[in-house]
Amino acid sequence: MPAIKLDGKALGATMRGEVAARVAARAAAGKRPPGLAAVLVGDDKASQQYVKMKHETFTAAGCASTVHRLPAETTQSQLLDLVAQLNADPAVHGILVQLPLPRHIDEGAVLRAVSPAKDADCFHPENLGFLAAGFPRFYPCTPHGVVQLLTRNGVPLAGKEVVIVGRSNIVGKPLALMMMQKPGTSNPAACDATVTVAHTRTADLAAVCRRADVLIACAGRLHVITPDMVKPGAAVVDVGTNFVNGKLAGDVHPAVADVAGWLSPVPGGVGPMTITMLLYNTLSAAELIDG
Ligand code: GUN
């Protein structure tokens, strides 16, 4: 039997509706709308598309959204000046510096310059530290999207074997923290799972993956997860964003659908959830800053 689809498009729409209702309630109480400032440096096509989608999503949910487009030759100090200006702007609750940045700019220095209270991506080391310590201020968007996609579809996580293939700062590492953490009122998206973090250099990756009740592919390598690597009935979440002849393709081979119990596909799985969780973080930031 083919896997049950973990449909991020549908769940993302539902959750954006939940955020929009909370935004409308804030407006009715006379509060200013949550505001996102996105910063895009250069003319990377995929980044332009992501920023456009974010802008449309925020506007549709009743939030404020501004996009700051800077030329590729922008200096680091010019970019840091803009970030400082956004940090001080009371109408801005969330700041997103779209990655990748041009090579002459020190990405870490820019991400550390974003006010941690406005860090809608949850990329700042202070916020990653809070997450690691078990009392997060925000959750990083893609890991949070993965957790919501699993839990809201009833996939069991507590006590289960979760294998994450990928160790990036944006997905693999923070997702491992969320998966292993004990849940509590200050950490509602923690999962109580038993976690293994693997990667493309892991010895006998197939054997490690076959242990998984829940297998998350975030290695950034096209179709690295094949059907023989999946325990029958397991939940498989594809976080890959590879482009093949201009078309989006994941880290999970499509034939995995014949073995898995649940499958979050690419496209239509985690991607729409990531944007939804960005919206969620910007609302949280507005609640923290404005009350
Ligand atoms: N580039 C690719 N994904 C992301 C993301 O989630 N946030 C930012 N800021 N840049 C990205």
Q: What's the pLDDT at 270?
A: 98
**CATH architecture, domain defined by 32-116:** 3-Layer(aba) Sandwich (3.40)
pLDDT at 221 over 90: yes
Nearest to 228 by CA among 214, 207, 202: 207
Q: What's the pLDDT at 179?
A: 98
Angstrom distance (rounded) from CA 248 to CA 36: 26
pLDDT at 1 over 80: no
Angstrom distance (rounded) from CA 41 to CA 83: 12
Question: What is the tens place of the pLDDT at every residue in 32-67?
Answer: 999 999 999 999 999 999 999 999 999 999 999 999
Where b means 16+ CB within 10 Å and e means fewer, 69-100 reads eeeeebebeebeebbeebbeeeebbbbbbbee
Tell which one of 40, 98, 111, 277 to mutate to probe ligand 1, the residue whose CB is within 8 A of the most ligand atoms. Answer: 98
Residues with Cβ within 8 Å of 230's Cβ and at least 6 positions away in sequence, in order, are 209, 210, 212, 215, 236, 256, 259, 260
The domain spans of the chain are 32-116, 140-270
25 touches 55 (CB < 8 A): no
Nearest CA owner, ligand 1 atom 1 = 99
Q: What is the CA radius of gyration of the chain?
A: 19
What SS3 state is found at 133? helix
Record the tokens describing residue 185, joined without a space: 């009122």
Does 141 contact ligand 1 (Cβ within 6 A)?
yes
32-116 and 140-270 share one fold: yes
Does 96 contact ligand 1 (Cβ within 6 A)?
yes
Full-model pTM:
0.97
Ligand 1 atom at shortest distance from the alpha carbon of 47: 1
Q: What's the pLDDT at 153?
A: 98
**CATH code for residues 140-270:** 3.40.50.720
Nearest CA owner, ligand 1 atom 3 = 99
| Cα–Cα separations (whole angstroms), residue 133 to 119, 128, 168, 237 | 18, 9, 19, 26
Q: What's the pLDDT at 109?
A: 98
